[in-house]
Amino acid sequence: MKLISIRMGLVTLLACGLIAVCSSSAVAQDAAATYKAKCAMCHGPDGKGSAMGVKMGARDFTSADVQKLSDAQLTETITKGKGKMPAYDGKLKDTEIKDLVAYIRGLAKK
């Protein structure tokens, strides 16, 4: 009996640990997945712009020109669109757009 309860405790501990690890990295993973699915075809997997994005006038996300823009400006462009950039208002949740802005910031640090 004692052995079983120790085992159960271990399993619970393990499960809790796993959930904590998964939920803390879930945000970053979500943004990366969304970016890959919806943005990378124009902005490139590394944010520097794909052939298609460059042709349409998308700037390199890792450049100072884009990084000097405020979070509010980046959010607005993603929400409302700009030039050939499609608007994602209603297609992505506010929280998803916020995560994407953070993801774009992260691209510059690599």
Identify the H or E element spanning 23: helix 2-34
Binders in 48-107 for ligand HEC, by CB under 6 A: 53, 56-59, 66, 74, 77-78, 82-86, 88, 100, 104
Enter the tokens of residue 75.
């959010």
Task: Give the C-alpha separation, 92 to 1, whole Å.
Answer: 51
101 neighbors 71 (Cβ within 8 angstroms): yes
CB of 95 to ligand HEC, least distance (A): 13
CB of 30 to ligand HEC, least distance (A): 12
Per CB under 6 A, the list member of 38, 48, 98, 105 interacting with ligand HEC is: 38
Tell me the window of 4-12, 16-24, 36-44 that interacts with ligand HEC (CB under 6 A).
36-44
Interface contacts to ligand HEC, rule CB under 6 A: 38-39, 41-43, 53, 56-59, 66, 74, 77-78, 82-86, 88, 100, 104
